[in-house]
Amino acid sequence: MAERNEIIHYHEEDGASVIILLNNPPVNALSLRMLEELDRAIQNFSKSRHLKAAILTSAIEPVFSAGADIGELRNSSVDKVHDIVRQAQQVFARIEGMPKVVIAAINGVCFGGGNELAMACDIRVASEKAQCGQPEIALGLMPGWGGTQRLPRLVGKTAAMELLLTGKSVSANEAYRLGLVNRVVPHHELLNVAKKMAESFAAAPQASIQAVKKSVTQGLSMSLEDGLHLETHLFMQVAQTNDAQEGMEAFLQKRPPVFAGGQ
């Protein structure tokens, strides 16, 4: 089954993954309406019992997203601009914090809010044609959808400050060198690579996936000591699952594990 609306297309794949397509020509400008529809798609995925991994990509070539809808921002009241900023932050936080894997398949231009959206995903696979950046400063603005927070956590303060203060974009290969994306692939292979990754995550023990995401996401805002306590707590929970028992037994028996994916 596929749930469709005008600017977000939701395609359930065979198996346990879904493709969420951004489709707001010409450049996938992230308007308030688009953010709201994206949020609905993300929540549908999050609530699904059989879907385990999602791929977030674009129906438009060669653009992932050029960022916020500048015309909407320019013509909105202060209160509405505030609503747009908070909506984007909440949607991106939902993506980052959910207990399932979200892969960004970046097929081209990935600027501003588009880059902030990609950074909220767990894994970023980039086409060789991709370009990433935070150009807000050239508009007399600054990133407001998580860019000043997630970018330094991904690439370090030094590189982040240069990108944020100059507004320059980087190629896919430079984004990989900086640690902004996980992998760069030929353009025609992008979706297939993302699908294979999604299939792998969907087949993995889900309690482990959930615990890793929670430990990393929450741990980044904690002291090292508190983060280690969280890690210990989550490790003990995971170690008692059927999948953990199967995984350890299979290792000792020198055979592939057969994970059920349950608790």
The residue from 96, 116, 199, 246 that is catalytic is 116
Catalytic residue among 72, 136, 174, 225: 136
Which distant-in-sequence residues (6+ apart) come within 8 Å of 113 by Cβ? Answer: 30, 65, 67, 68, 88, 145
The answer to whether the CB of 215 falls within 8 A of the CB of 230 is yes
Sheet of 109-111, strand order: 63-65, 109-111, 131-133, 169-171
The first and second tokens of residue 30, run together, are 């992230």
> And the tokens for 208?
């482990």
pLDDT > 90: percent of the chain:
94
Give the tokens for residue 176.
């990989």
Q: How many CB atoms lie within 10 A of CB 215?
A: 20
Q: What residues does 55 pair with on adjacent strands?
A: 19, 103
CA 97 centroid distance within chain: 10
Report, as an integer, the average pLDDT of 26-32: 96
**Rounded CA gap, 126 and 153, in Å?**
19
Pairing type for strands 2-4 and 8-12 reads antiparallel
Closest CA to 105 of 13, 20, 34, 2: 20
pLDDT at 13: 78
Strand 109-111 to 131-133 pairing: parallel
**Residue 246 is inside which H or E element, if any?**
helix 242-252
Confidence tier at 1 by pLDDT (50, 70, 90): very low
Band of residue 14 on the pLDDT scale cut at 50, 70, 90: confident
- pTM for the model stands at 0.94
Confidence band, pLDDT 50/70/90 cuts, at residue 260 = confident
The mean pLDDT value for 70-99 works out to: 96
- The predicted pLDDT at position 38 comes to 97
CATH superfamily of 2-203: 2-enoyl-CoA Hydratase; Chain A, domain 1 (3.90.226.10)
Among this protein's residues, is 116 annotated catalytic?
Answer: yes
Q: pLDDT by residue (tens digit) across 150-193?
A: 999 999 999 999 999 999 999 999 999 999 999 999 999 999 99
Please write the tens of the pLDDT for every residue from 114-136.
999 999 999 999 999 999 999 99
Task: From residue 21, give the alpha-carbon distance in Å to each of 83, 102, 134, 178, 188.
Answer: 24, 13, 22, 26, 17
Would you state the pLDDT for residue 261?
Answer: 65
Helices (H), 98-240: 113-120, 147-155, 157-166, 172-178, 190-203, 206-219, 224-239
Tell me the mean pLDDT in the region 66-74: 96
Q: Would strands 63-65 and 109-111 be described as parallel, antiparallel, or unpaired?
A: parallel
